[in-house]
Structure 1
């Protein structure tokens, strides 16, 4: 009995030491595993890497601004196209009216002695018709001044002849308006194309700068062309 008790008392400290040693080993292993799982702190950027990162950000901001400019230029071009279509419809209508009124002048007018004051009435009719046409923006201010100054206009002509001359003047004004709208549409198209090309260049440059920055940082990157394809160009006008 005493021998068994003695053996038990001797083995208890050894077992405790063994369990303590195992516990210390488990704690050490846990600490080592936790340390290995902690993300490594990134190394401080060099001056060149900081410059590359700053440049990539500046190019990205410039690309965003260029996108807004390209969108605005495209809207201006679309508005110019609509204005051009409206100018053509106005000219087509003026041309049709001028040809219809010209048909009435194909028949000779009866020659008779004019009543007293008839020339004044004809002049008043011409001035009134020209003023009304100018109010409706069918005639320009310069054309209206020519009518009142009788430059190229004969106020004594029959109202039918005067109406034909007015319709021809309206057609000339509409044609000038169409040509001006055509020139504006051409200029806005070139501006939209220039803005779109600038946006394409900046987006490619921004993609290249982002790729370079990721390479310098040691991060995996995809092909540079893939980066460029991520920039949508749906808002850009198509090349003509």
Structure 2
């Protein structure tokens, strides 16, 4: 009994002291939390707080402005390439028209040749061979000059589409002039189609370049609003100029 009583008297004060110290610490912590709750707010809760009203960082604005500026520069180069292609196509149309006009003038000289009788020549195998040789030589020469298409040349050598080697050279000359006129008219129409397509491409590229230039300027203004000059309006370097449209003369 004495031993038990001694242990009780020794351990109870010790436990009381320990519990008292723990209670003081707990009360101190609660007091701090109540007085300054924002200092102990969880980091995850702070990170999850809504930030919709905060403006984008300057670094993000600058990075976006630089990306748009690069895209605008590439679009301007593309517009210049398309304009150069359109100018080349326009020059090709003018050359094709000039060639067709010359062929039309020459063909008109033979407009009444069909009403004239063919010159009389001896109809011998030698004469027919000479006529065929002359037709082939003239057709090949016209093809090498770029006046006669390869398809038409094949018809001449295959004696198709009215190319009869027994005809008189005068008739062959008339047929060649008309064939050259038709082929040059076809070439002109094809060149005109390419020019129209090149014009549309140049217009679209110029519009894209202007839009990106405006967006690049607006983006640059957002992150350095006092040092960005206004973009220059589209000039002849990016926008194709109106072209003179030619109409083929009426073919007689």
Q: TM-score, normalised by structure 2?
A: 0.69
Give unpaired runs (5+ residues) of structure 1. Answer: 1-45
Higher helix proportion: 1
What is the correspondence of 1:146-185 to structure 2 with a 5 Å cutoff? 146-152=155-161, 153-185=163-195
Match of 1:236 among 229, 235, 238: 238
Provide the rounded CA distance (Å) in 2 between the counterparts of 1:173 and 1:108: 27
Match of 1:17 in 2: none
Specify the SS of the correspondent of 1:117. Answer: helix
Match of 1:86 among 86, 95, 106: 95
Taking structure 1 as reference, are residues 144 and 110 closer, same or farther at Cα in structure 2, changes over 3 Å only? closer
1:239: how far off? 6.8
Provide the rounded CA distance (Å) in 2 between the counterparts of 1:75 and 1:182: 16
Provide the rounded CA distance (Å) in 2 between the counterparts of 1:163 and 1:79: 34
1:232: how far off? 4.3
What is the correspondence of 1:17-56 to structure 2 with a 5 Å cutoff? 48-56=57-65
Q: Whose radius of gyration is greater, 1 or 2?
A: 2
Q: Deviations over 1:149-206 (max 9, x none)?
A: 0111111111000010011110111001100100110011011001100100000100
1:96 correspondence with 2:105: yes
Give unpaired runs (5+ residues) of structure 2. Answer: 1-54, 243-252
CA RMSD of aligned residues (A): 2.0
Provide the rounded CA distance (Å) in 2 between the counterparts of 1:116 and 1:78: 54
Taking structure 1 as reference, are residues 204 and 221 closer, same or farther at Cα in structure 2, changes over 3 Å only? same
Provide the rounded CA distance (Å) in 1 between the counterparts of 2:121 and 2:156: 26
Match of 1:42 in 2: none
Runs of 4+ residues over 4 Å off in structure 1: 110-113
1:193 and 1:239 in contact (8 A); partners too:
no
Match of 1:10 in 2: none
Q: TM-score, normalised by structure 1?
A: 0.72
What is the correspondence of 1:1-240 to structure 2 with a 5 Å cutoff? 48-111=57-120, 113-152=122-161, 153-215=163-225, 220=226, 227-228=229-230, 230-234=231-235, 235-238=237-240
